[in-house]
Amino acid sequence: MARTLAPDRVVPLLTGRFGSPYLHRLACTSTQRLLQPGLPEGAVAVCEEQTAGRGRLGRTWTAPAGAAVLCSILLRPPPGRQAAELSLVGGLAVAEVVEEALGAPAGLKWPNDVLVSGRKLAGILAESVSGAVALGVGLNVNQAEGDLPPDARTPPASMRTVDGVARDRAPLLAALLASLERAYDTWGELGLAGLHAEIARRDVLAGRRVRVGELAGIAAGIDAAGALVLDTPSGRRAVISGEVSVSALDAP
């Protein structure tokens, strides 16, 4: 397989704490499963192909071998920080890397999707592992249109379907780990407040009519705790988890 994410291609590009140790497999069930709790913070698991990739809410996550960045990072949030906020922290880090690579704006669809032109380019999954957090990132890079899942709730995209460019994933992964480390350190120090402006300006739901479970209303932003704020007929409500339904999303 050409241009893999093998350690000899990625580790020399790493500039920070994240990626040590760097675990790489050609195939695995899910990178989320490769992170053993005894590993240090910043351990990263990567594979070329997942046979049982996991999405949010029990969904699956699929990508052809060698086409996407599929990775999980082991994190140990400092006391007082809410691990649930890490989906937004990860989403922001991915959005920044995507914007730099594509030269186009990326949006965040609360709580865990990264969109370009209304299509989902990446998803983030935060799961607990014996008191730590495995933060999984699936970023679609080189898939052709026909490689993307036909039944996704939000129409999917890859970086290649956006701009026609096939990319080496190694520098993208290195940039992603650096971006995530920056965002994570800011969050550790200041909480979501330290990232709020950057998250808010990418919030694709703000001002839109949405539904989360039984609640329907106008999305009024993401609050300091990472909750989705909804203006409903019975007043302002903060939603801490759930699946957002929204009619077709405009760019980004």
| Site for ligand BTN, rule CB under 6 A | 30-32, 50, 53-56, 59, 61, 70-72, 112-113, 123-125, 136-138
Nearest distance, CB of residue 70 and ligand BTN, angstroms: 4
How far apart (Å, rounded) are the C-alpha atoms in residues 179 and 160?
21
Strand partners, 251: none
Nearest distance, CB of residue 124 and ligand BTN, angstroms: 6
Nearest distance, CB of residue 2 and ligand BTN, angstroms: 21
Nearer to ligand BTN, 94 or 195 (CB): 94
Radius of gyration of the chain (CA): 17
Contact criterion met (CB below 8 Å) for 121 and 158:
yes
Nearest distance, CB of residue 48 and ligand BTN, angstroms: 12
Nearer to ligand BTN, 127 or 231 (CB): 127
Query: Any idea what the Cα angle at residue 133 is, between residues 131 and 138, rounded to 5°?
Result: 160
DSSP 8-state assignment for residue 236: E
Nearer to ligand BTN, 140 or 161 (CB): 140
Nearest distance, CB of residue 138 and ligand BTN, angstroms: 3
Nearest distance, CB of residue 187 and ligand BTN, angstroms: 19
- What HEC string does 89-132 produce? HHHHHHHHHHHHHHCCCCEEECCCEEEECCEEEEEEEEEEECCE
How far apart (Å, rounded) are the C-alpha atoms in residues 54 and 33?
10
- Strand stretches in the chain, DSSP E: 22-28, 44-50, 68-75, 107-109, 113-116, 119-129, 132-140, 209-212, 215-222, 228-232, 235-239, 244-246
Nearer to ligand BTN, 68 or 220 (CB): 68
Length of the chain as a residue count: 252
- Tokens of residue 149, six digits: 């899942």
Nearer to ligand BTN, 19 or 123 (CB): 123
Residue nearest to ligand BTN (CB): 123
Nearer to ligand BTN, 218 or 246 (CB): 246
